[in-house]
Amino acid sequence: MSIDAGSIPVAVIGSGNIGTDLMFKVMRVSEKLRMGAMAGIDPKSDGLARAGRLKIATTHRGIDGLVELPEFADIKVIFDATSAKAHVRNAEIAREHGKLMVDLTPAAHGPFVVPPVNLDEHLDAPDVNMVTCGGQATIPIVAAIARVAPVAYGEIVASISSKSAGPGTRANIDEFTETTSEAIRLVGGAEVGKAIIVLNPADPPIVMRDTVFCLVEGVDAGIDEDEIAASVQRMAESVREYVPGYRLKQEVQFDAIDAFVPALGRTVTGVKVSVFLEVLGAGHYLPDYAGNLDIMTSAALRTAERIAELRGWVRA
């Protein structure tokens, strides 16, 4: 396939907070993608109104309306920012038309992708899943630890402002915990994973904060805590390349552990590694405290750009 020296057109399905923020990221951040169309189901949504003012093709008939737009023929990537339930049908239609689907819902319909961990493993997949906001923030850290020492158990707690949790986020809470827990294992490399999300009603709103707890076995066999800390730092720097507001709140903490872990059904002897994170949003559309949404749209953008490069759609 010939390489486009400029950018390729993409579509966003879902005109809520995530979809609208993604639209602005495509327009302001990406040199490889450009907005071709936005689809929603609420004709009065702010996202569709803004897209219309920016002269972007729009429809309020969801993916059915999207495929009828003249611009659809040139679309190569569709970002799905709807819901886990709606994504199944959206993905089927995208596949029928040969479009790459980047899924920002917790549907787990396609393979999990966390850009600095496993993006290049799924470049040929027709539908890639961005896990969840908590997953994008914390799974890189679990993976960084697992690269140095075996992680028997990984637990993450994502605390976000209730004001940054829209109807879609609230409707998908169960999917959030299930999808993130599974991805901690499959992508992060933990033997067992657990995810918790906290919607904090504090006013003024809090910035997204995440805590990662990993139970590491075998430290007494020669695994160096300094090596674990260095691996975590390198991973944080990798994430910060596409999420500038991502940072470690303090140094990595280590505590000896020798205890029975119910989730594993056995005693773990080693070290509990604790990592504390903060994610400040870029403020492209949403307030900067909405780092939970910003990290999702940033990860989706990075994923689509990389796949477009390696499929020969744009220059690397």
CA distance 13 to 119: 22
Judge: domain 133-287, CATH 3.40.50.2000.
no
Q: In what order do the strands lie in the sheet with 57-59?
A: 57-59, 33-39, 8-13, 77-80, 100-103, 127-129
Which residues of the chain form CATH 3.30.360.10?
133-287
Binding positions: 15-18, 164-172, 292
- For the residues 7-27, what does the mean pLDDT come to? 96
Q: What is the pLDDT of residue 132?
A: 93
Residues 123-164 have pLDDT tens digits of 999 999 999 999 999 999 999 999 999 999 999 999 999 999
C-alpha to C-alpha distances, 108 to 14, 129, 194, 277, nearest whole angstrom: 17, 6, 16, 25
Other CB atoms within a 10 A radius of the CB of residue 196 amount to 15
CA distance 131 to 181: 10
CATH topology of domain 8-130+295-310: Rossmann fold (3.40.50)
Q: What is the pLDDT of residue 20?
A: 97
pLDDT at 191 over 90: yes
Q: Which residue has the tokens 């493993």?
A: 121
Residues 266-313 have pLDDT tens digits of 999 999 999 999 999 999 999 999 999 999 999 999 999 999 999 999
Residues 91-117 have pLDDT tens digits of 999 999 999 999 999 888 899 999 999
pLDDT at 1 over 50: no
The answer to whether 133 is a known catalytic residue is yes
Q: What is the pLDDT of residue 106?
A: 86
Residue-averaged pLDDT of the chain: 94
Binding positions for NAD(+): 15-18, 164-172, 292
- For the residues 160-169, what does the mean pLDDT come to? 85
Instruction: Write down the catalytic residue from 81, 133, 139, 314.
Output: 133
Which residues of the chain form CATH 3.40.50.720?
8-130+295-310
- For the residues 256-263, what does the mean pLDDT come to? 93
Q: What is the pTM of this model?
A: 0.94
